[in-house]
């Protein structure tokens, strides 16, 4: 599995999903091509999926929001008879490297979270219409929907059989959504997650595993009726016209560098470091929303978000030995603020809303990146508004203080905007500033008085917005020492430490999924009971159960 994984796709390339648009309702069909696996060595039978299937789904969900804002209800359903989805492909999991398994689960979680939030964020409600077996990751697809409908027949059921069959966990939030979202009673959840055959019909509804159970004879008709009811009840305008998401322009260098129009990724393999440079706007902000619509996906705020998102995913899956990511920016902070201000002033406009919500998701992707993260606030940088969020996503930040010999760029500053106080909330449902100053909430309140003020190093340091300020004498040595120190630590210890420190504050369903559940799955994926030669994943389908070491750890 050493080939480069590409997260760019479009409907002309889909092999596993198709969408039929009918005004305010979209019918989304999962129809996996069993010969369309991302890698060799397995077939995607029974609507099972691998990362390639989920890359397409992520693209569908993204295009639904930008290209089809008229859609109010999405019906997720199977394109195959007698099976909804049998979950993640077991042969793929058994043969995948540990890191791929973990990153696969992380990406599927991020994709599920995106359409799960689509009703609240975008007025697009997802219905999951289940006919046939709906097991493991298949039920996790359903769980992330806003409403689950199950046909009442002899073969249709919902199940999370990972524990008894595979000795692993439902890795895409299944356990957490059963208890926290659907509020299934703990003892019933224990039964449900311990049986292979799943639960059908009225019992599934009574246990709140599904919302509605319908006789098979009227199922399809009832699903469409329910979708129309939900669409009619929606307050979202139905006459919206979307914008096209065109292919992201990028080029790859022989050294592993990636160049986009607004984002550059440089790789230094000697120290295991990637530098992500985000450029400020290359044009003035659109004058109004009509101009923003005309700019479409070339508008700065959307283009920068798409490019940064693609760069993060590329590093995560294709550059796994790059343990340190340094963020830098260059540009005019006033221009960044102007582009963001147009969106903030027009939050009720569907396109402004979608761009802001997309930045929220991209910044969460930064939070979830299992790399040591640092931001360098150099002269000429543009850490303002949405880009300033990077300063509080990273583990540390270093800022240039005073003039540097031979450097005639504008003085380094940090500038806050209204957006830093609620627009881009983290998984813990706090802003990054609220998380940063968890023990001193009055600091956040006081910072609101400094919105729009370019803060040079001494002021930014006093305000607590950066980790350390360094002058011309100390900058190069101190930054180099940090890089070298970080490279000397165990990546396992770093991943565990950073993930724990990044998510202070209240626990939410999302932090539980990415923190507790993912951490346990990460551990289980390395245990011989699951992935050893005699483990359950390896023996699945052979007729032999896994040979377990029964010691509790």
**Shared-domain flag, residues 83 and 221:** yes
**Shared-domain flag, residues 151 and 273:** no
**Shared-domain flag, residues 94 and 200:** yes
**How far is Cα 350 from Cα 69, in angstroms, rounded to an integer?**
7
CB 31 within 8 A of CB 80: yes
Helices and strands (DSSP H and E) totals, the chain: 24, 21
Within a domain: 243: no
**How far is Cα 108 from Cα 101, in angstroms, rounded to an integer?**
11
Average pLDDT, the chain: 96
Please state the rounded mean pLDDT for residues 151-158. Answer: 95
**Shared-domain flag, residues 179 and 320:** no
**Shared-domain flag, residues 207 and 297:** no
| Continuous segment of H or E residues that includes residue 315 | helix 300-318
Q: Give, in degrees to the nearest 5, the angle at Cα 248 between 244 and 251.
A: 160
Question: pLDDT value at position 403?
Answer: 96
* Nearest of 20, 17, 21 to residue 71 by alpha carbon: 21
Cβ-based neighbours of 246, under 8 Å, separated by 6 or more? 297
What is the pTM for the complete model shown?
A: 0.97
CB 42 within 8 A of CB 1: no
Within a domain: 477: yes
SS3 at position 465: coil
pLDDT digits (tens, 9 = 90+) for 254-264: 999 999 999 99
Q: Which band of pLDDT confidence, cut at 50, 70 and 90, is reported for residue 541?
A: confident
Please state the rounded mean pLDDT for residues 82-102. Answer: 94
**Shared-domain flag, residues 31 and 81:** yes
- Out of 199, 233, 267, a domain closes at 233
Within a domain: 539: no
For β-strands 273-279 and 263-268, DSSP reports them as antiparallel
Where are any strands of DSSP class E within 201-316?
A: 212-215, 251-252, 258-259, 263-268, 273-279
pLDDT digits (tens, 9 = 90+) for 80-89: 999 999 999 9
- Does residue 542 have a pLDDT over 80? yes
**Shared-domain flag, residues 341 and 470:** yes
Question: pLDDT value at position 516?
Answer: 86
Task: Provide the CATH number for the domain around residue 433.
Answer: 3.90.226.10
For β-strands 125-130 and 73-78, DSSP reports them as parallel
**Shared-domain flag, residues 288 and 401:** yes
- Could you write out the DSSP letters of every residue in 381-405? --EEGGGGHHHHHSSEEEEE-S--T
Q: Which band of pLDDT confidence, cut at 50, 70 and 90, is reported for residue 265?
A: very high
**Shared-domain flag, residues 478 and 447:** yes
- Could you write out the DSSP letters of every residue in 31-85? ---TT--SSSS---GGGEE-HHHHHHHHHHHHHHHHT-TT--EEEEEESSTTEEE
**How far is Cα 58 from Cα 38, in angstroms, rounded to an integer?**
15
**Shared-domain flag, residues 190 and 277:** no
Cα torsion 70, 74, 80, 81 to 10°: value is -120
Question: pLDDT value at position 2?
Answer: 62
Within a domain: 181: yes
Question: pLDDT value at position 114?
Answer: 97
Tally of domains within the chain: 2
Look up residue 170 and give its DSSP letter. Answer: -
Within a domain: 316: yes
pLDDT digits (tens, 9 = 90+) for 205-253: 999 999 999 999 999 999 999 999 999 999 999 889 999 999 999 999 9
- Does residue 1 have a pLDDT over 60? no
**Shared-domain flag, residues 318 and 427:** yes
CB 206 within 8 A of CB 550: no
Within a domain: 502: no
Please state the rounded mean pLDDT for residues 411-435. Answer: 98
For residue 120, what are the domain limits?
A: 16-233
pLDDT digits (tens, 9 = 90+) for 492-510: 999 889 988 998 999 999 9
**How far is Cα 159 from Cα 20, in angstroms, rounded to an integer?**
28
Within a domain: 178: yes
**Residue 82 region, left (φ>0) first, then alpha (ψ -120 to 50), else beta?**
left
**Shared-domain flag, residues 269 and 172:** no
Cβ-based neighbours of 475, under 8 Å, separated by 6 or more? 398, 400, 404
For the record, the structure tokens of 34 come out as 């069993």
For the record, the structure tokens of 542 come out as 């052979």
| Continuous segment of H or E residues that includes residue 482 | helix 475-488
- Out of 204, 233, 262, a domain closes at 233
- Out of 198, 233, 268, a domain closes at 233
SS3 at position 142: helix
**How far is Cα 224 from Cα 208, in angstroms, rounded to an integer?**
22
SS3 at position 108: helix
Within a domain: 9: no
For the record, the structure tokens of 487 come out as 């490279």
Looking at the chain, the whole-number percentage of residues with pLDDT higher than 90 is 94
pLDDT digits (tens, 9 = 90+) for 16-39: 999 999 999 999 999 999 999 999
SS3 at position 488: helix
- Could you write out the DSSP letters of every residue in 321-381? T--EEEEEEES-HHHHHHHHHHHHHTTTSHHHHHHHHHHHHHHHHHHT--SEEEEEE-TT-
């Amino acid at each position: 599995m050493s080939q480069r994984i590409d997260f760019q796709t479009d409907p002309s390339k889909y092999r596993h999903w198709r969408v039929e648009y009918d005004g305010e309702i979209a019918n989304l069909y999962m129809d996996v091509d069993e010969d369309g696996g991302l890698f060799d060595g397995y077939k995607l039978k029974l609507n099972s999926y691998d990362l390639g299937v989920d890359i397409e789904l992520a693209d569908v969900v993204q295009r639904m929001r930008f290209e089809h804002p008229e859609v109010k209800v999405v019906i997720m359903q199977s394109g195959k008879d007698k099976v909804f989805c049998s979950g993640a492909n077991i042969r793929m999991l058994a043969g995948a490297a540990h890191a791929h398994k973990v990153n696969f689960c992380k990406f599927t979680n991020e994709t599920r979270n995106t359409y799960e939030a689509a009703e609240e964020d975008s007025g697009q409600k997802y219905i999951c219409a289940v006919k046939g077996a709906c097991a493991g990751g298949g039920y996790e697809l359903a769980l992330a929907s806003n409403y689950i409908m199950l046909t009442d027949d002899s073969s249709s059921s919902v199940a999370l059989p990972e524990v008894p069959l595979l000795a692993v966990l439902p890795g895409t939030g299944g356990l957490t959504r059963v208890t926290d979202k659907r509020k299934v009673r703990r003892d019933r959840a224990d039964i449900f997650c311990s049986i292979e055959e799943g639960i059908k019909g009225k019992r599934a509804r009574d246990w709140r595993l599904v919302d509605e159970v319908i006789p098979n004879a009227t199922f399809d008709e009832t699903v469409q009726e329910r979708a129309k009811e939900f669409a009619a009840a929606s307050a979202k305008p139905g006459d919206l016209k979307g914008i096209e998401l065109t292919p992201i322009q990028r080029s790859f260098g022989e050294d592993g560098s990636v160049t986009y129009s607004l984002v550059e990724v440089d790789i230094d393999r000697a120290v295991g470091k990637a530098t992500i440079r985000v450029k400020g706007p290359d044009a003035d902000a659109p004058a109004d929303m009509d101009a923003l619509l005309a700019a479409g996906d070339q508008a700065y705020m959307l283009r920068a978000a798409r490019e940064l998102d693609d760069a993060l995913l590329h590093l995560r899956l294709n550059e796994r030995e790059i343990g340190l990511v340094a963020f830098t920016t260059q540009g005019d902070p006033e221009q960044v603020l102007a582009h963001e201000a147009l969106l903030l002033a027009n939050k009720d406009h569907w396109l402004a809303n979608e761009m802001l919500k997309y930045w929220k998701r991209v910044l969460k992707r930064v939070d979830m990146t299992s790399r040591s993260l640092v931001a360098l606030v150099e002269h000429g940088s543009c850490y303002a508004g949405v880009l300033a969020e990077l300063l509080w996503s990273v583990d540390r930040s270093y800022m240039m203080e005073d003039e540097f010999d031979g450097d005639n760029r504008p003085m380094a500053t940090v500038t806050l905007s209204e957006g830093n106080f609620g627009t881009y909330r983290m998984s813990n449902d706090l802003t990054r500033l609220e998380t940063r100053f968890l023990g001193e909430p009055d600091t956040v309140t006081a910072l609101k008085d400094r919105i729009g003020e370019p803060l040079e190093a001494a002021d930014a340091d006093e305000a607590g917005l950066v980790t350390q300020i360094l002058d011309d004498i100390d900058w190069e040595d101190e930054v180099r020492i940090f890089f070298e120190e970080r490279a000397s630590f165990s990546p396992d210890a770093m991943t565990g430490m950073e993930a724990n420190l990044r998510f202070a504050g209240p626990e939410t369903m999302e932090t539980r999924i990415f923190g507790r559940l993912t951490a346990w799955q990460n551990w289980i994926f390395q245990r011989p009971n699951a992935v050893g030669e005699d483990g359950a994943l390896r023996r699945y389908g052979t007729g032999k159960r896994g040979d377990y070491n029964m010691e509790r750890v």
